[in-house]
Amino acid sequence: MPQPDAVIETDVLIQTPDGNCDAAFLHPGGGSHPGVIVWADALSLRPTMREMGKRLAAEGYAVLVPNPYYRVARAPLPFASHFNFQDPADVAKLQPLMASINTSGAVERDAEALAAFLGGQKEVDSTRKVGVQGYCLGGRLAVRTAAAVPERIGAGASFHGGGLVTDKPDSPHLLAPKIKGRMYFGIAANDDERQPEAKDKLKEAFAAAGVPAAVEVYPGAKHGWCVPDMPAYNPPDAERAWARLMALYDAALA
């Protein structure tokens, strides 16, 4: 069993075309390892996301967990520990933050900078592909990252990803032809109930593009089930999702 205590964690600033992105960089104590970018959910980089990154690093990966809102706020967000998604006032606090990553090309510029950072670290084996994963909002960012730097991304995973399939021309699922890595989509049951056609459109888009992609609905799991500090956290299904992630990376980042 990997030992998280052997993981080294460093706070880093990564220069991007839009400023300096604050992030956590976590890796095993020795050697070089496949790099992975972890996109947080809407509450950004915080202790829970650091712990998830630490666990992944203990599995033998060099992990970068960026703050997606660095253009307007440093992490952690002051309200993250007591945020209530049912409170309109709390939700309103996220709007300007989320708007900062929705500007044209923002995530794509970030993806290039983050991949370049990983490629320049001695703890990262630059001869191997990079993985990317995301939760909720981060699921969408993971898809956009995989499309932005397709030559570097060997695998991408979205867990309870939000906004993956829309009727707009910039819908993430339409990026499938640009992606070269294997993909995995874990969908919450209540998200599937709200948008039952999304899973089929994801499957169709990636099949048409010739990109290997698994799309799986988790019966009974609610949006946010993978993240320990979320109300919907479900340990058995979270472990099942983790096993899927490890199998994906074992196959695609070797």
Residue type, 69: Y
What number is the average pLDDT over the span 191-207?
98
**What does the domain layout of the chain look like in residue ranges?**
4-252
pLDDT, residue 186, reads 98
The residues with which 218 forms a beta bridge, in sequence order, are 188
Distance CA 222, CA 224 (A): 6
pLDDT tens digits, 66-78: 999 999 999 999 9
Please give the helix or strand (H or E) that residue 244 lies within, else none. helix 235-252
pLDDT, residue 112, reads 98
Q: Which residue has the higher pLDDT, 184 or 86?
A: 184
Residue type, 86: Q
Q: What percent of the chain has pLDDT over 70?
A: 98
CB atoms within 10 A of CB 231: 12
Q: Which residue has the higher pLDDT, 245 or 6?
A: 245
pLDDT tens digits, 132-143: 999 999 999 999
Strand 62-66 vs strand 35-39: parallel, antiparallel, or unpaired?
A: parallel
Arithmetic mean of pLDDT over the chain: 96
CB atoms within 10 A of CB 55: 16
Q: Is residue 149's pLDDT more than 70?
A: yes
* Token code pair at residue 88: 């309109």
Reported confidence tier of residue 254, pLDDT bands at 50, 70, 90: confident
User: Domain 4-252 classified CATH 3.40.50.1220?
Assistant: no
* Token code pair at residue 189: 């049951």
For residue 22, CA distances in Å to 10, 74, 76, 225, 249 come to 11, 7, 10, 26, 25
Q: Residue-wise over 182-205: b if at least 16 C-beta within 10 A, else e?
A: bbbbbbbbebbeeeeebbebbeeb
Distance CA 133, CA 56 (A): 11
